[in-house]
Structure 1
Amino acid sequence: MFDYTILKLVWWLLVGVLLVGFAIMDGHDMGVGTLLPFIGRSDEERRVVINTVGPHWDGNQVWFITGGGAIFAAWPLVYATAFSGFYWAMLAVLWALFFRPVGFDYRSKIHDPRWRRTWDWGLFIGGAVPPLIFGVAFGNLLQGVPYHFDAYMVSTYTGSFWALLNPFALLAGVVSSAMVTMHGAAYLAHRTQGVLQQRAVRATGWAALAMCVTFVAAGLWVGKLDGYRIASAIESAAVADPTAKAVVREAGAWLANYARVPALWMLPVLAVAGALSGVWLQRLGRTLAAFVATSLSMTGVIGTAGASMFPFIMPSSSMPAHSLTVWDSVSSQLTLTIMLCATVVFMPLVIGYTSWAYRVMRGKVTVEYVKANEHSAY
């Protein structure tokens, strides 16, 4: 069907699409969870906020699960190394995500203000913590992660959890958090009306401003970081062996792809323009178009990081030659081919039923609705 080199590139693109899909689909309900304690000022208003994402949040988790499964199957060395090095960070994401299913299901079961406030903050944790940690993880990838492989291709992580919380990584975490909050606020503005919509519009503006400022600051910082460059011949069709290459670190190396392909500058432009366009479109009352604009902004942010690092996926700061790249961290050609066939079949199904579900549940959620559906609404 495709040769090994093409399959490696195809799966780099497909994993990127899954990450973007996860950010857009699961990101907006995480953003709504982050805003829940602040947008909703009363129990009825918070129930409105929850009901905008309540019917869809678990379906959106498909993108998260599929993305993790794709990395496991297509990039097994990346999966093993990342989950070893980022073990405690990934556990923190998992613990935070625990609050989401129980929060959505249990919050409205008991008519006790303290009970409901507790779950409101639980949903806040489940929405705010994962984007922050994912951003911190990407910030560390751009700096390199301290690991190496032994003779048996077993990776050893030599860093610590607290070393992950360095200034640049925390800045990347703020970019991620602001991006998701902006997207969630745009979705809330589309699904609500009246005072809730006004608050969501204001939140979109502030979050978009924070995202643009921190994204530009992170970009300027990346230009001064020591990036990575493959200094030996690239055997793109060879069997995966991440130790069979030479890698050097150079200041500004993460911008080399933009120098070679100037069209890539459209990605960071899309990130900023999408955010600002979303705010402008909301002012015009075009809330659905604003949501599309913030989705494009997220695509630009993630695409910018991916284009900067290509072909690296997980650089090694302690042993640069052992860095994992698109060419040497993948599964066999047969595995990638079978997975591609499955993707061609099932990806349209996922997109189709997701589109149908959102079409069925479209429309505004109001205080009157949650009052009239006391037992069926969230």
Structure 2
Amino acid sequence: MADFIPLDYATLRLIWWALLGLLLLGFAVMGGFDLGIGALLPFVARTDQERRLVVNTVGPTWEGNQVWLIVGAASAFAAFPPLYAVSFSGLYLAMFVILFALILRPVGFKFRGKVADPRWRQSWDWMLFVGGAVPALLFGVAVGNVQLGVPFHFEPATLRPVYTGGFLALLSPFALVCGLVSLSLLVAHGAAALVTKTDGPVARRAARYGSLSALVAAVLLVAAGAWVATRLPGYRIDSIIDGNGASNPLRKSVHAAAGLWLHNYRALPVLWLAPLGAVAGALLGAYFLRARRGAAAVACTTLAVAATVLTFGAAVFPFLLPSSTVPDAGLTLWDASSSHLTLWVMLLVTATLLPLVVLYTAWVYRVLGGKVSADSLEDNPNAY
């Protein structure tokens, strides 16, 4: 059957690594608006009408933005089963916390307006805050733990993954710094959307909090980069990997040493544009937020978020999930993928459906463009 597939196995593996990264980047940018606005809700809105304004800036679009995360998780399951197995079995408690926080968001959106009692609405507003801030923080913590390496190995006879860590161990200093990078970037990203979509006190407060958050993100990005360059153990494959060989994560040799996550940057200096773009986007985002230039701020925070994801991807390539306890067992795109045929069929399906998702998203944002105001809420009985 593989003889009829026009792309070789190694190429398909590389394509699916890139597609998985694209889906995660799509969620970071699109879903990042929602998470950042949720984290800002108690601080930029002080009356029920102001909170309704904030909620309705993302109310019509947040469900569509979740598609990127759902498709990304499904793609990881189908394209890289060992990655899904290790992540969702060994890290189930961390995953549960993230999922619980994300579940609070649809409940908060649907229930906050059902009762006019201010205490009822304020309680659900805090649920929306948790549903935005906690995932924004923990997604960054997850990225930090990937760079640190996760404590797992495989049983040689059965290749059954064995996770040997605990939940609290995931909250290491470096991982928390990465979590704060994620949280501050997404808060700035959400603030830029609020400046674009609202006027008055909400926009002013969003500009103030967002510009400060963007500056914090720039400082933390530089600090995290220095940590990676000088102290953080990185991983590098020593043995030659057959990109067309069958998937088996134990057929390679890996060693760890400080500074190895910069190996790809030394080999291909153009990659330095990614971290430079992340820091520049954060700094310019702070400037345009302070000036309340919404469209420019959105462009800059989008650059900062996307470039941060690319910085991470370029550093860890070709690893998907390094192992801190048995480095040779770390998962890479070359030895943790599904079969040749599976990747090909998935690519055909994705090439058909992903453009439809992009077109639909663009259409929704065009139809729902413009500012949210008190008058528009009064005119729309279906507003939250």
Matched, 1:269 2:267: no
Matches within 5 A, 1:95-110: 95-110=100-115
User: Contact 2:212–2:286 (CA<8 Å) still a contact in 1?
Assistant: no
TM-aligned CA deviation for residue 203 of structure 1: 1.7
Which residue does the alignment assign to 2:3? Answer: none
Separation in structure 2 between the aligned mates of residue 60 and residue 113 of structure 1, nearest angstrom = 29
Deviation at 1:190, TM superposition (A): 0.5
Q: Determine if the alignment matches structure 1 residue 49 to structure 2 residue 47.
A: no
How many equivalent residue pairs?
377
Aligned to 1:292: 299
Amino acid at match of 2:33: H
Kept in 2: contact 1:34–1:125 (CA 8 A): yes
**For 1:268 and 1:179, how far apart are their aligned partners in 2?**
14
Whole-angstrom distance in 1 between the partners of 2:379 and 2:366: 22
The SS at the match of 2:112 is helix
CA-to-aligned-CA distance 1:320-378 (integer Å, 9 cap, x gap)? 111001110111111111111111111110010111011111001012322344x4211
d(CA) in 2 for partners of 1:141, 1:111: 45
Measure, in 1, the Cα distance between the counterparts of 2:322 and 2:60.
39
Counterpart of 1:113, as a letter, is P
User: Are 1:369 and 2:365 counterparts?
Assistant: no
* 2:250 counterpart of 1:237: no
Q: Is 1:306 equivalent to 2:325 in the alignment?
A: no
Aligned equivalent of 1:185, options 183, 187, 191: 191
1:280 deviates by 2.9
Normalization by structure 2: what TM-score?
0.96
Q: Distance in 2 between matches of 1:2 and 1:211?
A: 41
Match of 1:317 in 2: 324
Q: Give runs of aligned pairs for residues 1-378 of structure 1, distance below 5 A.
A: 1-150=6-155, 151-223=157-229, 224-283=231-290, 285-373=292-380, 375-378=381-384
Structure-2 separation of matches of 1:97 and 1:9: 30
Deviation at 1:131, TM superposition (A): 1.5
Q: Deviations over 1:24-73 (max 9, x none)?
A: 11110111111011100100000000000000011111111001011111
Deviates more, 1:284-293 or 1:222-231: 284-293
Unaligned runs of 5+ in 1: none
Cα distance per residue 1:202-256 (max 9 Å; x no partner): 1220110111111111111111211111111121111111000111111110011
Q: What is the one-letter code of the residue matched to 1:25?
A: M
Task: Give 1:33's aligned amino acid.
Answer: G
Partner amino acid for 1:205? S
Deviation at 1:283, TM superposition (A): 4.8
Which amino acid is the alignment partner of residue 254 of structure 2?
V
In structure 2, give the amino acid aligned to 1:92: V
**Distance (whole Å) between structure 2 residues aligned to residue 341 and residue 289 of structure 1:** 36
Shift of 1:97: 1.2
On the 8 A contact 1:44/1:370 being kept in 2, the answer is: no
What amino acid is aligned across from residue 243 of structure 2 in structure 1?
A: S
Structure 2 gaps, min length 5: 1-5
TM score, norm. by length of structure 1: 0.98
Distance 1:179 1:86 in 2: 24
- Higher mean Cα deviation, 216-225 or 41-50? 216-225
| 8 Å contact kept, 2:214–2:283 | yes
Secondary structure, counterpart of 2:235 in structure 1: strand
Secondary structure, counterpart of 2:243 in structure 1: coil
Residue type of the alignment partner of 2:7: F
1:271 Cα offset (Å): 0.5
State the SS of the aligned residue for 1:249.
strand
Deviations 1:244-288 (A, max 9, x none): 011111111001111110000000011011122223334555412
Matching residue's letter, 1:164: L
Amino acid at match of 1:252: G
- Rounded to whole Å, the distance in 2 between the matches of 1:53 and 1:247 is 44
